[in-house]
Amino acid sequence: MDDRVTGNHSEEDRLTAAAARGGFMQVQSEFPRYSPVSSSPSFTLKVIGHMIMSLEPKGEEQEKFRSNFKIISSSFASLPFKVPGTAFHRGIQARDRMYSMLDNVISKRREGQGFQNDFLESLIIKHSKAADGEADKDKLTDKQMKDNVLTLLVAGHDTTTAALTWLMKFLGENPQVLQRLREEHMEIQAKGKGGANLSWSEVISETLRRATILPWFSRKAAQDFEIDGYKIEKGWSVNLDVVSIHHDPEVFPQPEVFYPSRFDEPLKPFSFLGFGSGPRMCPGINLAKLEISIFIRHLACRYKWTPLERDDSVQHTLVRIAKNKYPVLVEPL
C-alpha cells in the first residue's frame, strides 16, 4: 500500500482544519454509539462547504446551509410536481434559499469583502464581466455559477458519505487489512510527513469496487455504433451496469472477497470505474481522494470500532448504501 497522493499543501491544511473542527471532534463526542451514515453527512458537508465557498463548519450560516441542503437531497427521488406541499416543491424552495445565500456571498466578494482562496472565488474571478461591460459568451452567468456550486456540493456529498461508510464496514470485517493500513499510517506519522503524503491506497480502490457506490452511468450515444452484435443508434440512452463490471470474475477473481492487493497489478482499461472514466470522469476526484485519505488516516490511527448489527443488505437509492446504516461502537485506541 505505497501509493501516495501529494497535493497542494495549503489545501490539505484547510481540509484537515475543517475536518478537525466539524467532523472528527464530533465522532469523539458521540462515544460509544456512532453511525457513519448518520454522522458522516455532517462531516462531508462541512468539509466540502468549506472547500468550495469557505463556509465555516459552525454557526448560523452553516445551520441554514445544512438545513436547506438536507431538504434538497431528500427531494431527488420525488415526482416532479411543483405543487405546494410536495417534496419536489420543498426542494425547489430550499434550492432558492441556497441561491439567495450564494447571491449574498458573491455580491460581498465582488465588493472586495472577504476574499477567499476557494472554488467560488476562482469562478468569480474567471467569469467577471469585462471592464467595458461587453458580454462574453464564454463567461458564466451568476445563475450558472450557482448551479456549478450546488452541483459540486450534491455530487461530493452523498457519494463520499457512502464511501466512508463502506470503508469502515469492509475494514471492520477484514482486521488484517486494517492492521496493515494502520501500520502504514503510523509509519507516515513517525516520519513526520504529516499531511504532505496522504495514502491513497488500494484499500480505497477496493472499497469503491466492492461497494460500487454509483451502480450505473447513463450516457447518450453520439453516433450509430455496434457492440457485440447489438446496434445502438445515435441519440439512444445507454446505461452502463457498473456493478456487473466491478464483480466480473474474469476481471476481478473472487469478486465478493475484499482483497485490496488486487490493485497492485495493472487493470484492464475501463474495468475499474470508481470515479467513472474518459472525458466525463468525476470532476471532484481529487477532492474526494484527499477527503477520504484524511479521514482514513485519523480513523486508522486513533479509533477502533465494533459493529452493533450484522447486515449485508444494500439500500438502492441514488447511491448504494448500507441498509442498516452500519451502527458501530467506537472507542479510542
* pLDDT in 10s for each residue of the chain, 333 residues: 433 333 344 444 444 444 444 444 344 444 555 555 555 556 777 777 888 888 887 788 888 888 888 888 778 778 888 899 999 999 999 999 999 999 998 888 888 877 788 888 888 888 776 544 555 667 888 888 888 888 888 777 778 888 888 998 999 999 999 998 888 888 877 776 554 444 567 888 999 999 999 898 888 999 999 988 999 999 999 988 999 999 999 999 999 999 999 998 888 889 999 988 888 788 778 778 878 888 888 888 888 888 888 888 887 777 888 888 888 888 888
Count CA atoms closer than 13 A to 176's CA, side-chain side.
4
Give how many domains the chain has, as a whole number.
1
Q: Whole-model pTM?
A: 0.76
Q: Is residue 82 part of a domain?
A: no
- Exposed / middle / buried, residue 191 (Cβ in 10 Å: 0-12, 13-18, 19+): exposed
Q: Is residue 101 part of a domain?
A: no
Quick one: which of 328, 333, 319 has its CA closest to 157?
Answer: 319
Residues in the chain: 333
Q: Is residue 91 part of a domain?
A: no
Q: Is residue 222 part of a domain?
A: yes
Range of the domain at 243: 4-54+116-332
Q: Is residue 186 part of a domain?
A: yes
Q: Is residue 69 part of a domain?
A: no
**Rounded distance, CA 74 to CA 158, Å?**
11
Return the CATH number at 200.
1.10.630.10
Q: Is residue 76 part of a domain?
A: no
The answer on whether 301 is annotated among ligand-binding residues is no
- Exposed / middle / buried, residue 189 (Cβ in 10 Å: 0-12, 13-18, 19+): exposed
DSSP 3-state assignment of 182? Answer: helix
**Rounded distance, CA 189 to CA 206, Å?**
24
**Any residues with CB less than 8 A from the CB of 329 and at least 6 apart, and which?**
32, 33, 34, 305, 306, 307, 308
Q: Is residue 281 part of a domain?
A: yes
